[in-house]
Amino acid sequence: MRRAGVILALGFLITVRAAADAPMVELEVPLETTLGDPIPVILRVTTGVSGDAAVPDQSIAPFEMLAKKVTVEPSEDGEAKTFTFELTLQCFEVGTHQLGPIRVRLSNVAGELEYADSEARAVDVHSVLANEPNAELKPPTDPVVVEQDDYTLLAILGALVAVLFGALLAWLLMRWWQRRDRPEPEPPPPPPPWELALAELRSLQGQRAAEIEDGRTEQWVDAVSDSIRNYLGLRFGFHGLESTTDEIATELGQTEALTIQPTEAIAFLGQCDLVKFARASLADEASEDLIAEAFALVNRTRPATAANVGGRA
């Protein structure tokens, strides 16, 4: 093997050539380094165009391998190619240490393997305190006041203000919504006249016996008469309570929707007038028949779709 070494400002170059056509191994390392610093190492291997090269795992103590990267470049004549291995090493022992030889694994197109070693070289690893004969710690220094803007309280206050503003806005909107002008709901439609009349007649039917026993026959008959008069007026469109019996007869005679003869209603009202004004007597059975006729009069003049309810017909 022919050996040639070239020492540079930051390292040295070692070339190992086994023969004129054998693979060539070149190694570049720095002459010195500092304890713990990365050590850049360049390993170039030139082989034939069909050859291949690799740096296998191996012991290089006290150095440690941190990283390994390879690039391949063909020669200008196309008959060879160069593998450039960029190795990053590290050493934690002070002193002069031998790096290498670094073994390279080579293979040809036939798959045959061979190995070539680079030249070993000394690397001076020194400490950062190497130039201090009596290295000592620096004396303690006075504390330095470091001011830093702290916006935590301002951020909290801003968040509270935002929450309060949102709550106030929500309260104002709620008050506005509650006080806004809203249309009054339409009242429910009044019950039909026949339902009002039947309800009054049921109440009078329940009071009949007690009223007659107490001598209030005229008042009771007057209430039955007013109930029928009011019903006829509401049912056929006139003022029943303010109309005389003759006026009611005239109104009923002009009503096309009347389902009974007007004389039937007039006869019932005349019977009631006889008791009120002529003070005619009214037996218990007669009063029962009177309230039954009132129920029958309402049921016979109400719309056909409504079911007949009430007292005895």
244: in domain: yes
Residue 88 lies inside a defined structural domain of this protein: yes
Count of the separate structural domains present in the chain: 2
Last residue of a domain, one of 100, 126, 152: 126
85 vs 56: CA distance, rounded Å = 12
Same domain, 119 and 232: no
Q: Let me know how long the chain is.
A: 313
Are 12 and 68 in contact by the 8 Å Cβ rule? The answer is: no
Residue 117 domain boundaries: 2-126
Q: How far apart are CA 281 and CA 137, in angstroms?
A: 136
Give CA–CA dist 274/218, Å, rounded: 10
The DSSP string of 259-276 is: -S-HHHHHHHHHHHHHHH
- Which of these, 291, 143, 258, 272, lies nearest to 218 by C-alpha position? 272
Q: pLDDT tens string for the chain (313 positions)?
A: 333 333 333 343 333 333 335 788 888 898 888 888 898 989 888 887 777 888 888 888 888 888 888 998 888 887 888 889 898 988 888 889 888 788 888 887 777 788 888 888 888 888 776 555 666 677 888 888 777 888 898 899 999 999 999 999 999 998 888 887 777 778 888 899 999 999 999 999 999 888 888 888 888 999 999 999 999 999 988 998 898 888 998 998 888 888 888 888 899 988 888 887 766 667 778 888 889 999 999 999 988 765 544 443 3
DSSP class of residue 187 equals P
Are residue 9 and residue 112 in the same domain, yes or no? yes
Beta bridge partners of 69: 86
Q: Residue 86 is part of a domain; what is its CATH number?
A: 2.60.40.10
Name which of 189, 201, 190 is nearest 299 in CA terms. Answer: 201
278, 283, 284, 290: CA torsion to nearest 10: -50
Cβ pair 43, 25 in contact under 8 A: yes
* Domain boundary, last residue among 126, 143, 170: 126
Residues 6+ away with beta carbon under 8 Å from 114: 105, 106, 107
